[in-house]
Structure 1
Amino acid sequence: MELGVALNPSESGGVSGRLVELARLAEERGLALVVVDSSGAADRAQNKSDTKLGREGDSSDAHLRTAVMDPWTAVAWLAGKTGRISLGVHLQDVVGSSPSDASVPYRSVVAKAAESLEALAPGRIITDSAAWVNAPHDASAEELAALAEGGRPVVVPVDSASEVERLAALSEAGSVASRRQRPLAARSRRRPGIEYDSVPQSLVDDAVEPGDPGYRGVASNYLRGGAPGLVLRPKTAQEVADALSFARRHTHLPLGIRSAGHGVSGRSTNKGGIVVDVGRMNAITVLDATERLVRIGPGATWKQVSAALHPHGWALGSGDYGGVGVGGLATAGGIGLLGRAHGLTIDHLRAVEMVLADGRHIRASAEEHPELFWAVRGAGANFGVGTAFEFQVDEVGQVGYAQLGLFTTDIAQALTDFGKIVSQAPRDTTVFLITGRPRQGNWNIQLLGIVDNPDPDIIVERLTPFAQIGTLTQQQVVVTPYAGVMGSAADVGPEGHSGFGDPVSRSAFLPELTSEFARDAADLLRTGPVYFFELRAMGGAIAEVPADATAFPHRTSAFQVTAMGGNHDNLNKVWDPLRHHFDGLYLSFETDPRPERLHDAFPPQVLNRLREVKRRYDPDNLFRDNFNIDPHPDLSATSADAREK
């Protein structure tokens, strides 16, 4: 039986007197909750308001201001004067009706007050009286026990230390075992459908629930807001297996797998579901210096990887930002700034250690589980959780790294010129183009590029044609190790990510950048829904790998195209007319969740082969929340999708 106390500031000497003494005593004696009696505060506020009205006439705003502030002041004060006990105040009592009611003035202020109080006392504040049961002041032990049978704490009004002591003697909350469990405020925020009390023992200490102080830091990812019901943070392969065992008991909920949380499309967070965060599995080890073979944990970032490889004179091509985690990129593709010179990230993968849906820990390579190894390189999110990746890295010395800013009044011509220059560039040169909406008829263009050569003259020679696609407004070209390129990324601190909303992005592979595509892309940019547009140059070493060597089939494309906007429907209206230019899509930058996108990402023979692998290694479809390859698809629905296309 958990018991709490209700304190009325107007009857306890105010927030600076007996109220604090009684709250501290309740905490010291192990009670579960202190509730500020909002109705009493409201009564007092009403009396003050009546007096003021008698002096100054009608002033409803003054009444609201007094009624709203007193409970918050009391709870905030108690939060500062106590250390861990949960504190309750009912928002409906504070504002006089539901805070979401449109008729309530300043409801956004009330919501912000609740958010601020949570930031000041994380995991301790309860704002819904449904989390507890009220009992009369003189309730007997038997009556309290009966009220507690529903599983909620029972709150009793008190006004003296002896009354607090009586409740402490009756409450099991005074035991050591009870004190070790999460505070009531944290438990009150648990999401329905999750067996929180059956989290595997190996994961309990590091698990994060919605009411925990560290929840904000793990709820969202880089671009996407989230509100998962539980985040599990394994540190070993066995703990990953334990996490998946727990997830198998919760298949009614979303399941996200997270390495560093930077993916545009990846569901590394969700709402109300489970997230398995392998970010702490970030070790980087040289296995064989002669063969340049390294073993990397999924939670390492490419910034960390490049820094670890640099002393050896090595590099491993990744994307264009060092803050991205290894796990997502190493299973999707990895179209990066070393791509034309050294290929995709997955082209360097020699083995992967995985925990499968059934908890087995295996190693997949060309010799062991070869079909799974094929599938992981391009569609890995569907088959298991990678716990370590073995890469054969490249010898890479100093490179030329360029950041160029340009503007143009003719974006179609600039895109056409860019396409021609890329097609003629040596394979040691990889350049990405970024632009967006025009401003007063001008387009700003940013070029990011690497020339895999330490000679300044060669670097300038390679880059000069690109600098002529518009009027050059900014240039920064440096000779640096690859670690210097990746090292500019910001580290994710203990506060975690702070993404919000849902990114809206479309992705495609472009076989050739024709003048017709450039014209249509210019029209897309003029319409307004697209605020970010990127062309990533491919070709070179990427195209030299056979299309069937991995589950990444689009080897001969010249570019990967990404467009981002703020609304799915608006983006579809301007993106769909360009589809006839494309041949496939890159799932890492795609947020359209419709099943037919799989047919764009994987040609029929590739998708059929992936389904066979899925049936063997994840027949019950545990890994289903990131562009799911259903092992048992509805063939009639698939046929209908194909006819619509």
Structure 2
Amino acid sequence: MSLRLVRPEDRRYPALRSTYTTAGAPAAIALPESAAEVAAAIAHGRERGLDIAVRSGGHGLAGTSTNRGGLVIDLSALHDVAVADPAARLVRVGAGARWADVAAALHPHGLAISSGDHGNVGVGGIATGGGVGWLARWYGLTIDHVRAAEVVLADGRIVRADAEHDPELLWAVRGAGAGAGIVTAFEIEAARVRDVGVAQLLVAADQDGAALRRWASALREAPRELTSEVIMLHNGRSPVMRVTAVVAGGDPRRVREIVEPLRRIGKVLDHRVDRAPYPVLLPPSHKHPNVAQQPVTITNGLLPAMDGDAAEAVMALVRSGRALVQLRSLGGAIHDVDRGATAYPHRHQHTLVLASMFPPDGRAELDAAWRVLAGRVDGAYGNFEGRRDRPAFARVYPGPTGERVAAAWRRYDPGAVFRPYPI
């Protein structure tokens, strides 16, 4: 079987070697067009003793989708999106598709899959790691709706994982798939939604975190149609909350009713509410090349509650001016799933806090700034965690979940070909 490989002397190499955040220098990049070619790429890397990185084509914030001196298996050619069963809303999605492609393909059918907040994000990474998207409180995580997966194992076998065929592999794929094999396609149950309400607000952020607490409280009490994200910005000496709120369903009166409590969380500097087709949130214009244009170091934590101490800690991190701080609302449908049902066990937390640091600052500076929050968070979301050590594994996969994940990785990948964390 012929295997397309791009090497450093190839003119395509500069456009393929990196992720959005990380400059890579692999010995070669494989561009498979089928699961069989993925298996051939794995064999090629193993025979030559190369480290293997897997890229589904998107951002790759954690930086693990490229390497130096190894082999990158780029899944971007596996990008087909098709409605396999309209009545069951079952969609087959190639792991190399980006969410802009998925949103555009499903919209004519009145369907959507909640995942990510940017159209350039790749399907494979999120659909094996979690999937916190614009409809998360209403729809749940992406992994909660993965019904089957086509997986290429380290030994080259191509297998199907579903509730009847290897359910343990399906369990691992949904939250810890990066260490089990390479998923080439997913069968995902989509949601029936065409339009959404989108509110954007600029809110003055109190130094003690009062506005932040009110935002979190409003989300906990809100109907689950509402999902929100906050980006903390600096406006001179005063921090500002840029709040984006998405309501599943586009009825204008219902949207205004659900969004109204957010206008009372603090001094509103600007706001607007619109109705839009869901793909507007993930437009094709997002699909830019990924050439390490935004180097970043990231970490995150999950907060069970945004109490006074937690809010003050977040604001202390913001006031340090060292990190970009983002928050995403959880709860709702995410909490409907038993913590043992998937390899993502974080089913009681209400807020995800993400901190990003940009050059010249790096890991040491981020760790120092994060200490103010480190003792208050409970767990972490793997796709937003740049560390790949044992403590990070314990945060992402705590307790019994970690033991089961480690056992699954050893079973399906005994040679540690794909191992994202030491176990």
Q: Normalised by the size of structure 1, how large is the TM-score?
A: 0.63
1:289 corresponding residue in structure 2: 86
- CA drift of 1:448 comes to 1.6
Distance 1:241 1:210 in 2: 22
2:384 to 576, 579, 589: 589
Kept in 1: contact 2:230–2:242 (CA 8 A): yes
1:236 corresponding residue in structure 2: 34
> What letter corresponds to residue 203 of structure 2 in structure 1?
L
1:615 to 402, 410, 414: 410
> Which string of whole-angstrom CA distances, capped at 9 and with x for unpartnered residues, describes residues 239-284 of structure 1?
0000000111233x43210011312114111122210001010011
- CA drift of 1:490 comes to 1.8
Kept in 2: contact 1:266–1:588 (CA 8 A): no
1:529 corresponding residue in structure 2: 322
Kept in 2: contact 1:611–1:629 (CA 8 A): no
1:441 corresponding residue in structure 2: 237
2:249 corresponding residue in structure 1: 453
1:182-221 superposed matches below 5 A: 202-203=2-3, 206-221=4-19
Kept in 2: contact 1:233–1:277 (CA 8 A): yes
> What letter corresponds to residue 55 of structure 2 in structure 1?
R
- CA drift of 1:575 comes to 0.9
1:576 to 361, 364, 371: 371
Tell me the secondary structure at the aligned position of residue 209 of structure 2: helix
2:312 corresponding residue in structure 1: 519
Name the stretch that deviates more: 376-385 or 452-461. Answer: 452-461
- CA drift of 1:444 comes to 2.4
Tell me the secondary structure at the aligned position of residue 581 of structure 1: coil
Asked if 1:316 is matched to 2:108, the reply is no
> Which string of whole-angstrom CA distances, capped at 9 and with x for unpartnered residues, describes residues 279-312 of structure 1?
0100112211111111110111111111111111
Distance 1:458 1:235 in 2: 45
Distance 1:328 1:416 in 2: 31
Q: Which runs of 4+ in 1 moved over 6 A?
A: none
1:389 to 165, 186, 191: 186
Kept in 2: contact 1:313–1:395 (CA 8 A): yes
Q: 1:411 to 1:397 in 2, by over 3 A?
A: farther
Distance 1:547 1:489 in 2: 36
1:38 corresponding residue in structure 2: none
Tell me the secondary structure at the aligned position of residue 435 of structure 1: strand
Distance 2:266 2:362 in 1: 30
- CA drift of 1:413 comes to 1.5
Tell me the secondary structure at the aligned position of residue 596 of structure 1: helix
1:130-169 superposed matches below 5 A: none
- CA drift of 1:488 comes to 6.1
1:509 corresponding residue in structure 2: 302
**Aligned-pair RMSD on alpha carbons?**
1.6
Tell me the secondary structure at the aligned position of residue 151 of structure 2: strand
- CA drift of 1:370 comes to 0.7
Distance 1:523 1:392 in 2: 41
Tell me the secondary structure at the aligned position of residue 246 of structure 2: strand
Distance 2:208 2:280 in 1: 31
> What letter corresponds to residue 589 of structure 1 in structure 2?
F
Greater fraction strand:
2
> Which string of whole-angstrom CA distances, capped at 9 and with x for unpartnered residues, describes residues 447-495 of structure 1?
1221113221221122122133343333342212212222264223xxx
Distance 2:178 2:351 in 1: 23
> Which string of whole-angstrom CA distances, capped at 9 and with x for unpartnered residues, describes residues 509-548 of structure 1?
1100111111111112222221x11111010100001110
1:38-117 superposed matches below 5 A: none
1:414 corresponding residue in structure 2: 211
Tell me the secondary structure at the aligned position of residue 421 of structure 1: helix
Tell me the secondary structure at the aligned position of residue 430 of structure 1: strand
> What letter corresponds to residue 317 of structure 2 in structure 1?
L
Asked if 1:555 is matched to 2:347, the reply is yes
> What letter corresponds to residue 352 of structure 1 in structure 2?
A
Asked if 1:473 is matched to 2:265, the reply is no
1:284-363 superposed matches below 5 A: 284-363=81-160
1:57 corresponding residue in structure 2: none
> Which string of whole-angstrom CA distances, capped at 9 and with x for unpartnered residues, describes residues 13-64 of structure 1?
xxxxxxxxxxxxxxxxxxxxxxxxxxxxxxxxxxxxxxxxxxxxxxxxxxxx
1:546 corresponding residue in structure 2: 338
Kept in 1: contact 2:224–2:333 (CA 8 A): yes
Kept in 2: contact 1:303–1:486 (CA 8 A): yes
Q: Tell me, which stretches of 5 or more residues in structure 2 are unaligned?
A: none
Aligned length: 420
Q: 1:311 to 1:480 in 2, by over 3 A?
A: same
- CA drift of 1:439 comes to 4.0
> What letter corresponds to residue 240 of structure 1 in structure 2?
V
- CA drift of 1:593 comes to 2.7
Q: Alignment identity in percent? A: 39
Kept in 1: contact 2:316–2:372 (CA 8 A): no
Distance 2:387 2:211 in 1: 29
> What letter corresponds to residue 186 of structure 2 in structure 1?
F
- CA drift of 1:500 comes to 4.6
> What letter corresponds to residue 314 of structure 1 in structure 2?
L
Distance 1:501 1:313 in 2: 34
Kept in 1: contact 2:45–2:51 (CA 8 A): no
Distance 2:87 2:410 in 1: 38
Tell me the secondary structure at the aligned position of residue 473 of structure 1: strand
Q: Name the larger-Rg structure.
A: 1
> What letter corresponds to residue 613 of structure 1 in structure 2?
A
Kept in 1: contact 2:239–2:318 (CA 8 A): no
- CA drift of 1:584 comes to 0.5
Greater RCO between the two (CA within 8 Å, min separation 6)?
2
> Which string of whole-angstrom CA distances, capped at 9 and with x for unpartnered residues, describes residues 301-324 of structure 1?
111111111111111111111211
2:46 corresponding residue in structure 1: 248
Distance 2:377 2:236 in 1: 30
Tell me the secondary structure at the aligned position of residue 535 of structure 1: strand
Kept in 2: contact 1:610–1:629 (CA 8 A): no
> What letter corresponds to residue 308 of structure 2 in structure 1?
S
Kept in 2: contact 1:225–1:501 (CA 8 A): no
